[in-house]
Amino acid sequence: MKEACITGKKTLYSGKFLALELLDYTNEFDRQLTWESAVRVNSTAAVMILPHIMPDDELVIIRQFRPPTGRYVWETPAGLIDPGEDPAAAALRELKEETGFSGKITGILPFSFSSSGLSGESVYMAFVEIDGRDYPPERQLETDFDEAENIASFRVKRTQLHDFLQDAVKRGDGVDSKLLLYSFLMRH
């Protein structure tokens, strides 16, 4: 069987951060079709960070308002990878900017796609270990938010994450699907 492939692209709209493209492609049956796709402007990849504070067995998660959802969303720290930057450097930079924490990379998964029906944006998942002795809970941390960011960081026991997120949903907040899946798998 023939493999599907992209045969053309047309930009329908381009803004400060996103563009909308109309993709022409040929499917496995040699049929010409189109697909609408959102693409990042000035970046092709992002990094999602799972910060683990040891030996406290806590995760650092964030809550921020996400205009497309119309609500606050619980997520892990994340951000775009700058041109020429590798995923590990981006992960440590974004972790520091969004939460004030520093740590060491313990692993990075190969790039994957979080919403492949909407966008071709690739996401690397980075695992970071933070030495809890350097960050007692009462310590005030300095952040460096972008103009549109107002991020609150929280330390949550890994074993309590799923219940914590379920309670947040009951209060009307949203949850990033990858974080919710992780919390579910940690329970089972």
- Compute the average pLDDT of residues 16-38: 95
**Which element (helix H / strand E) includes 88?**
helix 87-99
What spatial distance separates the first Cα and last Cα of the chain, rounded to whole Å?
Answer: 40
Residues 44 and 16: their CA atoms lie apart, in Å, by 14
**Full set of structural domains in the chain with CATH:** 5-40 (no CATH), 45-187 (3.90.79.10)
Full-model pTM: 0.91
Tens of pLDDT, residue by residue over 47-64, are: 999 999 999 999 999 999
> What is residue 140's predicted lDDT score, i.e. its pLDDT?
85
- Residue 157 confidence (pLDDT) above 90: yes
